[in-house]
């Protein structure tokens, strides 16, 4: 559980040290759950000094850090076909990490090779955050979850 936005950002920053080129992080949660706060922390953990904002209107923002960060927001799209037709997932992302907000809109188009970050809660309430690797090579993220009650790992 994270109690506030700062703890959500801290969790994202801690997990970023495990990031490798080609990684995909799927962020799932209701509006206001903290997906962008997690992305801000993850970016900071990659050494990105630019301000990370939700790319809802541009659909994807790219940032430079230890690895490039491709921050995708599918909120305004209906389904995977729209996202894929719009070129939001492409070969350039193999060089960096792709964080996808509203990833559930990609449904079966999501690769198995990803880390799911599922955030439950909104408003001023604490967040339950579940971290679930899609394949074994993403287990390295689980080792970086802080010892505090910030989140829980799933297998």
- Domains (range + CATH), the chain: 5-153 (3.40.50.300)
Note the pTM of the prediction, 2 decimals.
0.85
Task: Please list the residues that pair with 31 across neighbouring strands.
Answer: none
Quote the DSSP letter at residue 25.
Answer: E
Question: Are 5 and 12 in contact, with CB atoms under 8 Å apart?
Answer: no
DSSP 3-state assignment of 9? helix
Q: What is the pLDDT of residues 46-75, one digit of tens each?
A: 999 999 987 666 678 899 999 999 998 888
Task: Please give the C-alpha separations between residue 68 and each of 21, 91, 130, in angstroms, as whole numbers.
Answer: 8, 13, 25
Q: What is the pLDDT of residues 102-148, one digit of tens each?
A: 888 887 778 899 999 999 998 888 899 999 999 999 999 999 887 65
């Amino acid at each position: 559980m994270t109690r506030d936005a700062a703890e959500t950002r801290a969790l994202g920053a801690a997990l970023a040290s495990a990031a490798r080129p080609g990684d995909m992080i799927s962020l799932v949660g209701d509006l206001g759950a903290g997906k962008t706060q997690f992305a801000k922390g993850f970016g900071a953990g990659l050494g990105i000094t630019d301000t990370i904002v939700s790319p809802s209107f541009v659909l994807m923002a790219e940032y430079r850090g230890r690895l490039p960060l491709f921050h995708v927001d599918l909120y305004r799209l209906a389904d995977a076909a729209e996202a894929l037709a719009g070129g939001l997932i492409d070969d350039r992302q193999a060089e960096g990490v792709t964080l996808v907000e509203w990833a559930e809109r990609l449904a079966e188009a999501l690769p198995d090779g990803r880390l799911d970050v599922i955030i439950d809660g909104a408003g001023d309430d604490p967040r339950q955050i579940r971290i679930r690797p899609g394949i074994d090579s993403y287990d390295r993220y689980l080792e970086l979850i802080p010892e505090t009650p910030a989140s829980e790992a799933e297998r």
